[in-house]
Amino acid sequence: MDKNNIFCNLINCKCESSFINIKKVLMNSKEVEKDDLFVAIRGGNKFAREALEKGAYVIYDDENLQIEEKFKKKAFHVKDSIEFLQQFAEKWRKNLNLKVIGITGSNGKTTVKDMIYHLLSVKYKGKKTEGNYNNHIGLPFTLLRAEKGDDFIILEMGMSDFGEIDLLGKISSPDISVITNIGESHLEFLKTKKNVFKAKTEIVPHTRETLVINGDDEYLKDIAESDLKKKGLKTVKILNMGNNKNNKKNIRDIVEQNNNFYYGDIDFNEIEAGFSLKYFDENSKKWIQKAYNTNVLGEHNILNLTIAISVAKQMALEDNDIEKAIKNIVLTNMRFQIIAKGKTTYINDAYNASPMSMKKSLETFSKIYNDREKIAVIGDMLELGEEEAELHASIFDVIVNINLNKLYLYGPRMRFLYDKIKENSDNENIKNIETEYFESKEQIKEKLEQIKDEKVILIKASRGMKLEDVME
């Protein structure tokens, strides 16, 4: 069944499929063209006429909206536009012969999505979630972009409460599901990491074939593989060799097959990272251990890349293709993005932040660019709930152990870290770090401009802080 037939069935045969010829499905009336489908969501109803004048089909749910007679063959009223969109995407997914890859987790979703897309694009044609289209509205729109000639589609799945991943999983029915980790994000709503774990694992019942997880994660490591096998699911665990070095059965002397991927021997500078990977090859029925080089930096990104490689292997991507592709990974901007401006090098990592990602970013920053002045500009981490004071103050445990010249703090919640640092000002390492708190981003910009020496500046905060403004 094609998209036009599905559409007509959903609107109770109020049209003939031969009359309908939908090109793209959109919710921005400014982007629509002739024969696109404009789904009017909430306030979007008032733009229905604009879309109709452009020759688009329109779904709307405002009972009071007046449709001119000349447009009535292209305008269709539904009870709820969002519900219609979700049903449309769910039915379209069932008619697609492609691999659906769903990604959730507290940190690293976007990075892993980009990495998987980069690898698979070497051999296959596909789509991925763009921007922040990772919720109950964005995911259906992304899924409806899939075409019958595509080999895959990668769907990022965000959430803030129970039931949201369940809905996204129901709509998309992923063949391969990835859970990157369980962190402190969303504690504002879910209160505990155990609840975050429960919410993220709502994807499991909707997974068709394979579940890929961070096997070293405090919560994910205890997912019962026996239960998953009963459901017919293959489990792939991503494990750090260093964390599992005493488990000889799994690392060195293993003779039996398992699905795990082991990474280690990580070494990096400001240009590239090297690491090794060990996994069981299904074709040769042998354990493979290889060394790789990549342009992404940091141990956390090697974990993310290993997740991506494991997914690529589920899609039968050859080792040679993987080796070539990972040398130049393309990520979404503001993901440890290195930007050189004269004597200043910015590391823009301000796409988002959580305690986990903040610590990893600072640790990575500590190990590179040690030939010039190093400044970390960090701002508030949002949606942390009742523990936000303690979680911001906990960044001190990293600060006290890293190589840093200056630390600039911004945002009301970063006051907690600032106070913690001042309380421990007699610490030898803290003494060597010039720490300041700023009330505005403009003040930070002015301070940075006063430093004329060659410098590298890390920028890290939650998306809502827009801390990248200090670069402008």
- Beta pairing class for 373-379 and 126-128: unpaired
Give the global pTM: 0.93
Given a contact cutoff of 8 angstroms between Cβ atoms, the answer to whether 131 and 139 are in contact is: no
pLDDT in tens, the chain (472 residues): 889 999 999 987 655 555 788 999 999 999 999 999 999 998 889 999 999 999 999 999 999 999 999 998 899 999 999 999 999 999 999 999 999 999 999 999 999 999 999 999 999 999 999 988 999 999 999 999 999 899 999 999 999 999 999 999 999 999 999 999 999 988 888 999 999 999 999 999 999 999 999 999 999 988 877 678 778 899 999 999 987 654 444 444 444 568 999 999 999 999 999 999 999 988 788 899 999 999 999 999 999 999 999 999 999 999 999 999 999 999 999 999 999 999 999 999 999 999 999 999 999 999 999 999 999 999 999 999 999 999 999 999 999 999 999 999 999 999 999 999 999 999 999 999 999 999 999 999 999 999 999 999 999 999 999 999 999 8
Domains and CATH numbers, the chain: 3-81 (3.40.1390.10), 96-328 (3.40.1190.10), 337-471 (3.90.190.20)
Cβ neighbours for 102, distance < 8 A, ≥ 6 positions apart = 155, 157, 168, 169, 172, 174, 176, 177, 178, 203, 206, 207
